[in-house]
Amino acid sequence: MTNTAILAASALLVLAYLIDILCKRLRLPAVVLLIGMGIAIRQLADSFGLHLDWVDPIVPVIGTLGLILIVLEGALDLQVSSQRVRLIATSATAAVLGFALALAVIAAVFAYQIGLPAGTAVLAALPFAVISSAVAIPSAAALPLPQREFVIYESSVSDIVGVLVFYAWLHADGSFGNFTAEVVVGGLVSLVVAAIAAAGLYALINRVEGHVRFLPLLAGLILLYSIGKESHLSPLVLVLVCGLLLNNPQLLERNRHLKQLHTEGYDATLREFKGLVAELTFATKSFFFLLLGYWTDLARMADPEAWILAGWVVLAIYSTRWLLLKALRQDAADRLMWIAPRGLITVLLFLAATETGALGPFPFGTVMLVVLVTATLTALAQRRPASPSTA
């Protein structure tokens, strides 16, 4: 049994790698193919009377680890400078306003279509209002640098804002005062804790020695994420700020004590750390989408109500995004409009919402359909040749 599990895991990882190579060359959505592969494996296993009971509890765990690593990988690629202030401000504005607009429209759809109470409709809509950085960041790899950086900042901020608002709403018990306190206080405390943690990690990276160097750092970040989540903070803020400051040590070195810690080998060590994070991110993300496909019930996806709701949600996502990008006069808005995928973060937040029991018989097939459709549209948009103004 042990050898079979090892064989299956290694074969799936190699398969995911081959799918990733194929998708990059054909500009196809790797997410869709991985989920489809998981669904096919489920059908094959069911035909032999096999069922992997361990998949149900492990999907959220792998998804959470994948989310942490994806945000960290994206943050480690971001450069902060005075020349990027406008870009950062624009992308952050797009993320916050886009999230708010999509949330309002999708919540209204749920309230009208399936009669959810206002508070419950907002809870159900929150996962769908968040752009998934797990899908958006890799999809933007072929874009020109300004648009690529816009997508990285926007999707990362969207993830953070979405998680912060979701858990604040979840713990507010319907009180707007509690909700506001959760968002404001939780966000500020998260920023302070993140800055302290980043300073500590910076000191460790400059002093790290021996064969085992980076796994303790990652374990520390995951520990901070878990503590932040239990404390009702915004744990993704911790991860994003730590990665951002590590990749921009000039921000930390404004403190003379931290500047004295800087060593000549810091840049080389950081490159090695980025490489490890990239490898682990790929493996975790691949396993998550494969297991998510295996975990998906096709009967739920065939539900007519799920298709109707998914259609309304997709329409709300792209209509509000188009209006926002045009209002912000964002370059290449016609192409960036389609880079609004829902994915790992949407699934994780929806699972957390269903655990409350408040959503009742909400059709889960809606989630998978929205994930698959938006990921496909994101990939298809990148197959279009760039216009002369964006090349």
CB atoms within 10 A of CB 200: 14
In order along its 391 residues, the chain shows pLDDT tens digits of 567 667 777 887 888 888 888 877 776 667 788 888 888 888 887 787 777 666 667 778 888 888 788 778 878 877 777 777 888 888 889 999 999 999 999 999 999 988 888 888 999 999 999 998 878 877 777 778 788 888 888 888 888 888 888 888 887 776 677 788 777 877 788 888 888 888 888 888 887 776 777 888 888 888 888 888 787 777 777 888 888 888 888 888 888 887 887 888 888 888 888 898 888 888 888 888 888 888 777 887 888 999 999 999 999 999 999 999 888 877 778 888 888 999 888 988 888 888 877 787 788 889 989 998 998 888 777 665 554 444 3
DSSP 263-280: -TTHHHHHHHHHHHHHHH
Backbone angles phi, psi at 29, to 5 degrees: -75, 110
Given a contact cutoff of 8 angstroms between Cβ atoms, the answer to whether 179 and 172 are in contact is yes
| Dist. CA 271–CA 268, nearest whole Å | 5
Q: Is the pTM of this model over 0.85?
A: no
Angle at alpha carbon of residue 154, lines to 151 and 156, rounded to 5°: 100
| Dist. CA 111–CA 371, nearest whole Å | 21
CB atoms within 10 A of CB 210: 5
Predicted local distance difference test score (pLDDT) of residue 391? 38
| Dist. CA 274–CA 300, nearest whole Å | 39
Task: Check the CA dihedral 232-193-251-72 and report its sign.
Answer: negative
- The alpha carbon torsion through 23, 332, 100, 79 (nearest 10 deg) reads 80
Q: Give me 25's structure tokens.
A: 């060359």
For the chain, the distance separating the N- and C-terminal CA atoms, rounded to the nearest angstrom, is 53
Domain boundaries defined on the chain: 37-47+56-296+344-357
Task: Check the CA dihedral 84-86-90-96 and report its sign.
Answer: positive
- Per-residue pLDDT tens for 328-380? 877 778 888 888 999 888 988 888 888 877 787 788 889 989 998 998 888 77
| Dist. CA 342–CA 253, nearest whole Å | 37
Predicted local distance difference test score (pLDDT) of residue 336? 87
Which of these, 153, 134, 132, 138, lies nearest to 27 by C-alpha position? 138
In sequence order, which residues have a C-beta less than 8 Å from that of residue 143 and are 6 or more positions away? 151, 332, 335, 382, 386, 390
Angle at alpha carbon of residue 275, lines to 64 and 374, rounded to 5°: 45
Predicted local distance difference test score (pLDDT) of residue 390? 44
Predicted local distance difference test score (pLDDT) of residue 101? 95
The total number of residues written for the chain in this structure: 391
Distances (CA, A) of 180 to 158, 174, 385: 18, 11, 44
| Dist. CA 76–CA 154, nearest whole Å | 15
Angle at alpha carbon of residue 195, lines to 190 and 200, rounded to 5°: 125
- Per-residue pLDDT tens for 120-171? 899 999 999 999 887 887 777 777 878 888 888 888 888 888 888 888 888 7
